[in-house]
Structure 1
Amino acid sequence: MSSTESPDTGSAAALPVPPAGPGPQAGPAETVRTVTLPRLTLTVRAPAGTPSGQDGDGEYGDAGSRRPRERALYVHGLGGSSRNWSALMPLLADRVDGEALDLPGFGASPPPEDGNHSVSAQARAVIRYLDASGHGPVHLIGNSLGGAASTRVAAVRPDLVRTLTLISPALPELRPQLAAVPTALLAVPGVARLFSRLTHDWTPERRTREVLALCYGDPAQVTPEGFDSAVDEFARRLELPYFWEVMERSARGLVNAYTLGGQHNLWRQAERVLAPTLLVYGGRDRLVSHRMARRAAAAFRGSRLLTLPEAGHVAMMEYPEAVARAFRELLDGATTEPTEITVDAGRS
């Protein structure tokens, strides 16, 4: 584990979740498609060349020879989108055919018809997509809220999960980070709309700077192009008539998940996960404390733990190369014993 102390979290967050995060728009490097299921529509992003929507194992290798390929599914966090994975997916494309979902109400996916934004509902959306696509078992990779939903999926449908990778998973904390309190406040009825009114005059640029300061260990790592992309996406999302309602209901769903007991408790479900698990925590994460890393490593049997002292809440966007290396080691099964790695700052 890292001995790096968390930065001061005493300042109030302007918006307690990332809108989508820096990442390329769909272009030559990515494809985006819409999947329609009964009462649910999902947007799916994949690197160009990924055989999305194909059934069976009829993919091609680099030399054009037919060979089976394993699948990966990426699940973003509260307020994020499939674009959060645009830096990581290409780094793993030689090993897995990856797809990233826009969860219901986020990215380009419309809200679910039943209005249910609980963690269990997000997990069901993932399960429904995997069942419909026939792609399971997959390497399931989740961040924050997506990590909580992915934990549920792995616990209740082990047949769908080959390995589990959790990046700053939103698992219950007895003493949440101070900077995470505004996220919990969004769950209170009316607070999201109040925040919308109070920040009505804020520019998308200001909102984006506040978000990046909250979610990144070092916001200076964001390129000008990445910042402009995030601003454009934030401006688009703010125009959606359901933006604040989805934020409120999703935050409430996450808070409710923290209070569940019995077999539905997220920590209890973590103990039920059978898939080999990689845990990734950032030493500068202001939303999920890196102090939870050891508890998570104990809960997920035989798990591997990667600690990135300089990373914040979105390590797959800040240090994609380090996360990719750890994922490859998970696939390779380098050891049979749980491992713990601390990676120094830098993008090596």
Structure 2
Amino acid sequence: MSSIEPSDARAVPVVPPTRPARVAPGETLRSVALPGATLTVRSRPAARPGLPPALFVHGLGGSSQNWSQLMEALADDVDGEALDLPGFGYAPPPDDGDYSITAYARVVIRHLDASGRGPVHLFGNSMGGAVVTRVAAVRPDLVRTLTLVSPALPELRPQRSAVPTGLMAVPGLVSLFARMTRDWTPERRTREVLALCYGDPARVTPEGFALAVAEYERRLQLPYFWEVMGRSARGIVDAYTLGGQHSLWRQAERVLAPTLLVYGARDQLVSIRMARRASKAFRDSRLLTLLEAGHVAMMEDPDAVARAFRELLADTATTSERSAPPRG
């Protein structure tokens, strides 16, 4: 797996999405062409001019929609954009078929370089947490603060409930699962996902469940859906095996940006036990533990995550003012 190199900044061409897209009120969606990949960028207009930029990166099987509630909650604080990584949401697969954490990090860096929005307040969930950790480690100039929601950092002893997701990385198992579940309805598939990702799936409203079902049904019709899931899961496992300077834990130690860590006590995919190790690894970190949340706290309790981020934002601004050279 290659290291990440700074990319040449380019103009960002904006073209309409290739398929009808679902957007929440107040959101817009656009496609961004980068060298070797196309992203879909979901944005919400800032409440007022001059707000600092923020970028949100989803996890395995997710999309930019995972951040809609948090972006709305933070509309008075940041100018937010959320990505569909290549192969997810409304974005097509990458040209080179590389679904590694390093490749995704490279795409995020290229987007930030090309858009000129950096440094940003950078957010990541699950796989996206691993991606943005790598971005913050190798390009500190692009990151103001880092917020990680259940980041997929290596665990020596993963929870038993996380093992089936890890097995998706085994060649052939995703195709086997697709065949074994071909008679499952989108409703059943959605319930299985919500039961795995939410601390309490009952918190999902009927409207939210219907939207999730429609989105799952749309994705199942994509010819590359299962391949992207399997190869991206393999990319996570491969990242876990890297040692030396490319180790995700080693890179976490290199992160300079003030970091907010968010863990759910009911998370079935990333153990709450990892919160303590992460707090030690990220040199300037604070921890928010949500007792009722699972793997996607920004969807389960966006208000709590927003409050914690605002505290980070305020403290960071205060620290910057104290460290600024005197005027006059």
Q: Is the structural similarity TM-score above 0.5?
A: yes
**Counterparts of 1:169 and 1:183, CA distance in 2:** 15
**Counterparts of 1:119 and 1:37, CA distance in 2:** 17
The runs of 5 or more residues in structure 1 that have no matched partner are: 1-23, 51-59, 62-66, 337-348
**Residue number in structure 1 paired with 2:104:** 122
Q: Establish whether residue 90 from structure 1 lines up as the match of residue 87 from structure 2.
A: no
TM superposition score normalised by structure 2: 0.89
Number of equivalenced pairs: 298
Secondary structure of residue in 1 paired with 2:195: helix
Question: What's the CA shift for 1:183?
Answer: 1.4
Question: What's the CA shift for 1:75?
Answer: 0.2
Q: What fraction of aligned residue pairs are identical, expressed as a percent? A: 74
Q: Establish whether residue 258 from structure 1 lines up as the match of residue 240 from structure 2.
A: yes
**Residue number in structure 1 paired with 2:204:** 222
Question: What's the CA shift for 1:29?
Answer: 2.0
**Residue number in structure 2 paired with 1:317:** 299
Moved over 2 A (4+): none
**Residue number in structure 2 paired with 1:244:** 226
**Counterparts of 1:265 and 1:88, CA distance in 2:** 30
Deviations 1:196-236 (A, max 9, x none): 00000000000000100000000000000000000000000
Q: Establish whether residue 208 from structure 1 lines up as the match of residue 187 from structure 2.
A: no
Deviations 1:249-287 (A, max 9, x none): 100000000110000000000000000000000000000
The one-letter code matched in structure 2 to 1:241 is: P
**Residue number in structure 2 paired with 1:21:** none
Deviations 1:75-119 (A, max 9, x none): 000000000001100111111100000011000000000000000
Q: Establish whether residue 44 from structure 1 lines up as the match of residue 26 from structure 2.
A: no
The runs of 5 or more residues in structure 2 that have no matched partner are: 1-20, 320-328
Secondary structure of residue in 2 paired with 1:149: helix
**Residue number in structure 2 paired with 1:28:** 25
Secondary structure of residue in 1 paired with 2:270: coil
The one-letter code matched in structure 2 to 1:38 is: P
**Counterparts of 1:42 and 1:215, CA distance in 2:** 24
* Superposition map of 1:104-143 within 5 A: 104-143=86-125
1:80 pairs with 55, 62, 81, which one? 62
**Counterparts of 2:250 and 2:51, CA distance in 1:** 32
**Residue number in structure 2 paired with 1:330:** 312
2:85 pairs with 94, 99, 103, which one? 103
Q: Residues 142 and 150 of structure 1 are in contact (CA less than 8 Å); yes or no, is this contact kept in structure 2? A: yes
Q: Quick check: which one's helix share is greater?
A: 2
Secondary structure of residue in 1 paired with 2:257: coil
Deviations 1:4-49 (A, max 9, x none): xxxxxxxxxxxxxxxxxxxx931432110111112211000012x3
**Residue number in structure 1 paired with 2:181:** 199
**Counterparts of 1:25 and 1:41, CA distance in 2:** 18
Q: Residues 151 and 270 of structure 1 are in contact (CA less than 8 Å); yes or no, is this contact kept in structure 2? A: yes
Q: Residues 186 and 247 of structure 1 are in contact (CA less than 8 Å); yes or no, is this contact kept in structure 2? A: yes
Q: Residues 257 and 284 of structure 2 are in contact (CA less than 8 Å); yes or no, is this contact kept in structure 1? A: no
Deviations 1:272-312 (A, max 9, x none): 00000000000000000001001000000120100001100
The one-letter code matched in structure 2 to 1:128 is: R
Secondary structure of residue in 2 paired with 1:333: helix
* Superposition map of 1:172-191 within 5 A: 172-191=154-173
Range with bigger deviation, 179-188 or 95-104: 179-188
Q: Residues 25 and 229 of structure 1 are in contact (CA less than 8 Å); yes or no, is this contact kept in structure 2? A: no
The one-letter code matched in structure 2 to 1:26 is: V
**Counterparts of 2:35 and 2:138, CA distance in 1:** 21
TM superposition score normalised by structure 1: 0.84
Q: Residues 256 and 284 of structure 2 are in contact (CA less than 8 Å); yes or no, is this contact kept in structure 1? A: no
Secondary structure of residue in 2 paired with 1:169: coil
